[in-house]
Structure 1
Amino acid sequence: MEEIIIKDLYKYYGDNKVFYNLNLKFTKGKITMVLGPSGCGKTTLLNIIAGIDKNYSGQVRVNRKNISYVFQEDRLIPNLSVFENVAFVIKSGEKRKDIDSIVNKYLEMVQLEEYGDKFPDELSGGMKRRVALARALAYNGDLILMDEPFKGLDFELKNKIMDKFLQIQMEKKRTVIIVTHDKEEAQKLGDMIYSLD
């Protein structure tokens, strides 16, 4: 069953052709990797799927209720702690102990459980990236869009986090689209891989 269908997609920036008659299908409950070099339109594709970019022609059908998005920029709230940044996206109806449990689960996944009381300006770029990833996963989205989510992480840490992410994905079975330029990352995570060039 397809969660997202893109048919006859055309997208231009002025005279610059980004997509020309692009056709893709994304399967519900699977991880699809979109692989390609910088400037090939990976971020634009995510923004179109998310409904942020509406300036295109063609059909984009997205069967989703809630979208979680790891942007290229970390977009953390500067006056909230790491713990509060992750908790911010959890529905207010949740009980306090449940919120704590969810936040701690995802901070542990990205190996930042000891940094919950720190603020974004106290973190390195890679740590901010991991907080953004934890926050996106803590939000109970039907569809998760990730724009280079492991960028800036060293090899060993990245692989540990990817392993934990795959374990969580086996439980949750969410529809995930990840864009990357890293072939090994695509092969490790992807149930399906599309290559844009």
Structure 2
Amino acid sequence: MEYIDDYEVKIKNLYKHYDEHKVLDNLNINFRKDKITVILGPSGCGKTTLLNIISGLTKADSGEVILNDKGISYIFQEDRLIEQLTVYENIAFVLKSIMNKNEMNSVIDKYLNLVKLTEYKNKLPSKLSGGMKRRVAIARAFAYKSKLLLMDEPFKGLDEKLKKEIIEQFLKLYKQDKRTVIMVTHDLEEAKLLGDEIYSLDK
């Protein structure tokens, strides 16, 4: 018999419709703790909807989502950086309610160093390349002390060389700071490279 203690998330009999379009139909998946699980499938198959239901951004029609811990970080397809804030301030924005200033400074410096962006900490997003913005989003997600990290096609739109570099930095972060990761993608090579377990959704 398997217990929830073996998992960070359990999905039971999940259904979601948009008008006449059925995107999730009696879905059942268990996501193991401290592993990277990849959800693979074409656009429109319900991958992002599943992440949004797990995070609480979207409500399922029926079914159950069981979480071991409520702390969740989410890396969206878009970087979602606040344009008026510096790199440092964008990360501090999600930390200031849970850390004192000294701890926050230490955590931000740690993760910016790991993604090789320390010298850009006082830059605005408009001064960063697309790859740099993606690295800030990844650093911000790891800086927030969640047990669960959701990633919605986090490497989409990057050229192959840049994608490889950022994936290497992501794996370095993950190995130093293990947590449960659920990532969605339509890229089979990404899934094979990153996934401890891979599930495929169809339309």
Tell me if both proteins adopt one fold, taking TM over 0.5 as the criterion: yes
Range 86-95 or range 145-154, more displaced = 86-95
Alpha-carbon contact 2:38-2:182 (below 8 Å) kept? yes
Letter in 1 for 2:176: E
Asked if 1:146 corresponds to 2:166, the answer is no
Letter in 2 for 1:138: A
Asked if 1:36 corresponds to 2:41, the answer is yes
- 4, 12, 26: which one aligns with 1:7: 12
Distance in 1 between the 2:41 and 2:98 partners?
A: 40
Letter in 2 for 1:142: K
Deviation at 1:196, TM superposition (A): 1.1
Q: How many residues align?
A: 197
- 62, 86, 93: which one aligns with 2:91: 86
Distance 1:17 1:99, change over 3 A: same
The aligned counterpart of 2:54 is 49
SS of the residue corresponding to residue 89 of structure 1 reads helix
Give the RMSD, CA atoms, in angstroms.
Answer: 1.9
- 71, 74, 79: which one aligns with 1:74: 79
Distance in 1 between the 2:139 and 2:157 partners?
A: 15
Distance in 1 between the 2:113 and 2:163 partners?
A: 14
Distance 1:180 1:161, change over 3 A: same
Distance 1:107 1:164, change over 3 A: same
Distance in 2 between the 1:124 and 1:177 partners?
A: 26
Structure 1: 5+ residue stretches without partners: none
SS of the residue corresponding to residue 44 of structure 2 reads coil
Distance in 2 between the 1:124 and 1:164 partners?
A: 16
Deviation at 1:187, TM superposition (A): 1.2
SS of the residue corresponding to residue 88 of structure 1 reads helix
Range 92-101 or range 141-150, more displaced = 92-101
Range 93-102 or range 24-33, more displaced = 93-102
The aligned counterpart of 1:160 is 165
Letter in 1 for 2:86: S
Map residues 47-196 of structure 1 onto 2, 5 A cutoff. 47-92=52-97, 94=99, 96-196=101-201
Distance in 1 between the 2:103 and 2:113 partners?
A: 15
Distance 1:120 1:164, change over 3 A: closer
Letter in 1 for 2:201: L
Distance 1:64 1:14, change over 3 A: same
Instruction: Tell me the TM-score normalised to structure 2 length.
Output: 0.87
Instruction: Tell me the TM-score normalised to structure 1 length.
Output: 0.90
Deviation at 1:88, TM superposition (A): 2.0
Structure 2: 5+ residue stretches without partners: 1-5
Distance in 2 between the 1:182 and 1:111 partners?
A: 26
Asked if 1:22 corresponds to 2:27, the answer is yes
Distance in 1 between the 2:104 and 2:79 partners?
A: 22
Alpha-carbon contact 2:11-2:27 (below 8 Å) kept? yes
Alpha-carbon contact 2:114-2:173 (below 8 Å) kept? no
Letter in 2 for 1:181: H
